[in-house]
Amino acid sequence: MRSWQYSRTAGGLEKNLTLNPSAPLPTPKPDQHLVQVIAAALNPVDYKPAEVPGLIRFAISKPATPGIDFAGTIVRPANDSPLKAGQLVFGASGATPVAGGALRDFSVSGLKSTAAIPEGVDPIDAATVGVAGLTAYQSIVPHVKHGDKIFINGGSGGTGVFGIQIAKAVGCHVTTTCSTRNVDFCKEMGADEVVDYKKEKVLDVLLLKARERRYDHVVDNVGSDEELALRCHEFMRSDGAMVIVGGEPSLKAVTQMMKRKLLPGFLGGPKGNVVGFWPEQKPEDLQQIAEWMKEGKVKAVVDTKFRFEEAPKAIEKLKTGRARGKIVVDVASETYKRDS
């Protein structure tokens, strides 16, 4: 099978990817499906951890294949799975969160990280959900109720686009941030209010809006403005939570995380409830997002679709941080359509 692989990341992951035309098929564990990949969608986690100095040497088996988000068909289902061979599925590929293996013809996916694609949902769209959609769902839905006021920092990226739509699907009033060129786009996604961070200081706007009503819940998909976390108690309700989703894998980010976690407010830590986040694989959450997609309440936004042979270019595009929605690599949609 074809597989994009790397053994080093010096100079950037995209510069080290090579296409192996005769890689061996992966061997699934009893609780994993063997799947044929139709499409893969990219996320920052596909390259950021791999490019941390030292991590590639010690934490990732080589050669490694990136890619977590996928849509495909079941070749051989996991033991005791209700899914059947030939069934269209989507979710998270692989056994590790760093090198998922979706950028190849065949991969593996776990029982808890795979769900059926409902009839009427395009596999290309379903492929975008695995990381960004699940992150948006779990960082919002368990924390809110109908009528809540939510602030999403970073509304035009992969997670933000899903976040706006999911928050509206459960009945929230949504305020989000983006650059000037994406203001109308975020409104089209359903945002009630949009803050243009190119023209206004986000914290100042939040403090002003808090005079009328504080936010019930906050999600930070950017993670670069520590002042938002330290002063969240000034614009968020005391029983609310600020979920930090975005951030760089750096010493500075780790220091800030430890400061938020360990320092009390009077010593410089946040006075509000600030929590970190890592998605939990729940097929029922994936299935709910897919049902909303079928109903038209949530839609995938694909910024660019690349051919399988262009996977390094797709990662280059991802690293610009300028994608509006998701970047998708078409692995075998035409082949799949001919064979189905």
Q: Is the pTM of this model over 0.85?
A: yes
CA distance 308 to 103: 8
User: Residue 179: what pLDDT?
Assistant: 96
Structure tokens at 231: 């002063």
User: Residue 267: what pLDDT?
Assistant: 41
Q: Is the pLDDT of residue 262 over 50?
A: no
Write out the DSSP string of 167-205: HHHTT-EEEEEE-GGGHHHHHHHT-SEEEETTTS-HHHH
User: Residue 144: what pLDDT?
Assistant: 98
User: Residue 284: what pLDDT?
Assistant: 97
% of the chain at pLDDT higher than 70: 89
User: Residue 57: what pLDDT?
Assistant: 60
Among residues 125, 133, 64, 74, the alpha carbon closest in space to that of 94 is found at 64
Write out the DSSP string of 29-55: -TTEEEEEEEEEE--GGGTTGGGSTTH
User: Residue 247: what pLDDT?
Assistant: 54
Residue 81 CB neighbour total at 10 angstroms: 16
Residues contacting residue 317 through CB under 8 Å, at least 6 positions apart = 303, 304, 306, 323, 327
Mean pLDDT of 297-307: 97
User: Residue 270: what pLDDT?
Assistant: 61
User: Residue 278: what pLDDT?
Assistant: 85
Q: Is the pLDDT of residue 202 over 70?
A: yes
**Contact present, 216 and 140 (Cβ < 8 Å):** no
Q: Is the pLDDT of residue 170 over 60?
A: yes
CA distance 104 to 85: 19
CA distance 65 to 3: 7
User: Residue 200: what pLDDT?
Assistant: 97
Structure tokens at 94: 């692989």
User: Residue 95: what pLDDT?
Assistant: 62
CA distance 218 to 225: 14
Mean pLDDT of 17-27: 97
| Average model confidence (pLDDT) across the chain | 91
Mean pLDDT of 194-203: 97
Structure tokens at 86: 């030939």
Mean pLDDT of 115-131: 97
Q: Is the pLDDT of residue 264 over 70?
A: no
Write out the DSSP string of 219-267: EESS---HHHHHTGGGTEEEEEEEEE----SSHHHHHHHHHHHHS-GGG
* Predicted confidence band of residue 271 (pLDDT cuts 50, 70, 90): low
Each residue of 62-100: pLDDT tens digit? Answer: 899 999 999 999 999 999 999 999 999 999 998 677 789
